[in-house]
Structure 1
């Protein structure tokens, strides 16, 4: 299959017979149209404005637009990972007036056919969702893993003062055990040695999956090449025998306001004390110099969600934005 400037597709349900969808490869010139289409998505916390230009430069990624009568009405991004065996689907956008008409399904089918023609070795489609999965979903998808999502909001200057007030030995309320050793921030060579060792990480990574800012990767050399090109802080409690690992994405601006930032922290492991310690290290490192408001999204083992939420509210004094939700990584076979 080859994408031309525009390609016709099957008619959408409830769409006038004379109307067609055209698919085009996204370009830098489409940025304003895409932003207009997806305005106010995620309540103003959309990551796409910050990452769109970088997406266009990724050799293993294809960004496709759907147009109706020449107007951009939908976007889908597909990234080929896992040594070419997995098609990672992310970034779906559909214009408000076109939702519920089957646009997303048609666009996804087109993207699947396109990627399969370019990468015949692709075996599965993988995506990450944050809505509740029902019986119909499990007829289409297999669940790979899931993490609880903890979303909090705070003023960076206020948190800096609070952390200084609490001091370096802050821990869980009522915890009388000696403080663990300080977390280890990994260099790139250490990241490779550790995360490519299935024996060391088998009890840490959920279902042998590195989920970095909504993107699920198998711990393979080709995937580590992708991850190590990103601005990520990698941290563990012990580089020789880890129990908890965490990845922190550097803060980035979001459209909600000029002084608003987003911070994503992925935590793997089941030890609450070690998870708290690493989160505090990431927060000190990445919010100490910020000025403005921060939305911080923490992904962690579901049983850790409530005690971590209590720690954020009661000890750090930050605001919980929403109650428990889940990040679910699912996949289906490419046919």
Structure 2
């Protein structure tokens, strides 16, 4: 399906926009080779994205070849468009195509979903002064990236002790779908003081903590935990692992942590690892997103207690917003 051209396209005049289909998959993978340090999620998500309700994946083509991609996903009861997957082919960068794609995506989503008020996105790179003028920084989380061999860790996971410290009267709780709504998604719910700016970030996707997102999140393969179902101090969610291009058999495991209870965060990390690691055949890149103040003690726990390898130092995930 060909889409209407918009003002501001590159001056060579031969750029066209089309909705993505299954057949462009190989072109997308080739164009994106090497990005995100081998942690590119798009090969594992592309096929579901092109068929997902309330999502538009737009490609920029030049002389019939794909040179750019952007996805706009409408959430929060139709009020928010999430910008994801923005990328431009290496040989076309620096020509303004990313900006044109983004403007086109915003115009398209506003045309199809008039109720959308804002665009949100997450980033992990330094923001330029120009970008800080363009976007409002809603919140930020620390990023902790570690790696390990799954069979090796699995062989000793059950014998790893928690460091000495205050212990809660009961182990962390694996939440049912009904408990998820009460803990995470009710307005003014149990996590209202723990979530950054009342926002639940799952696998780089920010959602308002509201019941309107419950069905959408329920369709995902997420493992939800809290240290207490009545008065939680820390909660977490773990996305199902998926393969990434970092190695022949390499999986990515993404865990988002909210709150301030270090002991509870450690217990929940061990629980998420115990649930997934025995099922994985080889190497794993595990990325934890957590309050900045928790980064150092969790990094020490991962390296000194769990024996995981730290891939890089402290970096941050920014949640950004702009009006549409």
* TM band (smaller chain): over 0.9
User: What is aligned with 2:171?
Assistant: 182
Is 1:32 aligned to 2:26, yes or no? yes
Q: Which runs of 5+ in 1 are unaligned?
A: none
Shift of 1:255: 2.0
Q: Does the CA-based 8 Å contact 2:182-2:189 persist in structure 1?
A: no
Hey, what's the Cα distance between the residues in 2 that align with 1:267 and 1:261? 20
Hey, what's the Cα distance between the residues in 2 that align with 1:95 and 1:303? 37
Hey, what's the Cα distance between the residues in 1 that align with 2:23 and 2:113? 27
Q: How many residues align?
A: 323
Hey, what's the Cα distance between the residues in 2 that align with 1:135 and 1:34? 30
Q: Does the CA-based 8 Å contact 2:20-2:57 persist in structure 1?
A: yes
Higher deviation after alignment, 125-134 or 227-236: 125-134
- Aligned residue for 1:101, secondary structure, equals coil
CA spacing shift, 1:11–1:202, aligned 2, 3 Å: closer
Hey, what's the Cα distance between the residues in 1 that align with 2:286 and 2:279? 15
Shift of 1:210: 0.4
Aligned with residue 277 of structure 2, among 287, 302, 319: 287
Shift of 1:100: 1.4
CA spacing shift, 1:11–1:200, aligned 2, 3 Å: closer
Is 1:89 aligned to 2:83, yes or no? yes
Shift of 1:196: 2.8
Q: Does the CA-based 8 Å contact 2:206-2:319 persist in structure 1?
A: yes
Aligned with residue 196 of structure 1, among 172, 178, 185: 185
- Aligned residue for 1:57, secondary structure, equals coil
- Aligned residue for 2:142, secondary structure, equals strand
Is 1:318 aligned to 2:308, yes or no? yes
User: What is aligned with 2:136?
Assistant: 142
Q: Does the CA-based 8 Å contact 2:182-2:190 persist in structure 1?
A: no
CA spacing shift, 1:178–1:121, aligned 2, 3 Å: closer
Aligned with residue 307 of structure 1, among 289, 292, 297: 297
Q: TM-score, normalised by structure 2?
A: 0.95
- Aligned residue for 1:201, secondary structure, equals coil
Hey, what's the Cα distance between the residues in 2 that align with 1:327 and 1:20? 36
Q: Does the CA-based 8 Å contact 1:203-1:243 persist in structure 2?
A: no
Aligned with residue 44 of structure 2, among 39, 44, 50: 50
Q: Deviations over 1:174-209 (max 9, x none)?
A: x34345521000111111122233241112211111
Hey, what's the Cα distance between the residues in 1 that align with 2:189 and 2:34? 44
Aligned with residue 171 of structure 1, among 159, 162, 165: 162
Shift of 1:220: 1.9
Hey, what's the Cα distance between the residues in 2 that align with 1:271 and 1:193? 20
Shift of 1:251: 0.8
Hey, what's the Cα distance between the residues in 1 that align with 2:26 and 2:239? 25
Hey, what's the Cα distance between the residues in 2 that align with 1:259 and 1:81? 33
Aligned with residue 236 of structure 2, among 241, 246, 252: 246
Hey, what's the Cα distance between the residues in 2 that align with 1:314 and 1:300? 19
User: What is aligned with 2:215?
Assistant: 225
Alignment root-mean-square deviation, CA: 1.5
User: What is aligned with 1:78?
Assistant: 72
CA spacing shift, 1:41–1:275, aligned 2, 3 Å: same
Q: Does the CA-based 8 Å contact 2:167-2:263 persist in structure 1?
A: no
Is 1:277 aligned to 2:267, yes or no? yes
CA spacing shift, 1:282–1:193, aligned 2, 3 Å: same
Q: Which runs of 5+ in 2 are unaligned?
A: none
